[in-house]
Amino acid sequence: MRRGGGGGGGGRMMDEDDRVEHAEIPTSFGHELRACLRCRLVKTFDQFRENGCENCPFLEMDKEDNVPNCTTANFTGIISLMDPSRSWAARWLRIAKFIPGCYTLAVSEELPEEYQGICQDNNVHYVPPKR
Ligand SMILES: [Zn+2]
């Protein structure tokens, strides 16, 4: 992808690219919020169900049952990232390569083994939560 020079941060026009520039922002902050077990993106159940996870399209959350299996309602804290590649917090949380959006600080559950296999098949590195 082409990167324009002199990026002073902020106000960058979105190029007309197929790539998604940022994840959906949760439409509500109630108990229907879920976090992706692989990348920790936070959205509502319905958003995952309709559009899947922007970082993990291979988990196919728009298909039956993948949302409950690949996301959790059991997480603490939310951080919103606007420029993950320049954020120390994103590096610390190891989400610097993900697209801008809302993320949780930690999930306590592991992605089910079946889906870890899907990650491997897609050459995606999955980091299980520390215990
Ligand atoms: Zn994800």
Q: What tokens were used for 64?
A: 């039956």
| pLDDT of residue 67 exceeding 90 | yes
Q: What tokens were used for 1?
A: 């992808």
What is the model's pLDDT at position 19? 66
User: How remote is the CA of residue 109 from the centroid of ligand 1, in Å?
Assistant: 14
Global confidence as pTM? 0.80
| pLDDT of residue 13 exceeding 60 | no
User: Does residue 21 contact residue 1 with C-beta atoms inside 8 Å?
Assistant: no
- Secondary structure (3-state) at 35: strand
Residues with Cβ within 5 Å of ion ligand 1?
A: 36, 38-39, 41, 53, 55-56
Task: Locate the domains of the chain by residue range.
Answer: 33-121
Q: What tokens were used for 107?
A: 């999930």
Average pLDDT score over residue span 95-102: 92
Residue 48 backbone dihedrals phi, psi, to 5 degrees: -65, -40
Amino acid sitting at position 4: G
User: How remote is the CA of residue 97 from the centroid of ligand 1, in Å?
Assistant: 12
CATH of domain 33-121: 3.30.40.210
User: How remote is the CA of residue 48 from the centroid of ligand 1, in Å?
Assistant: 9
Amino acid sitting at position 47: Q
What is the model's pLDDT at position 50? 95
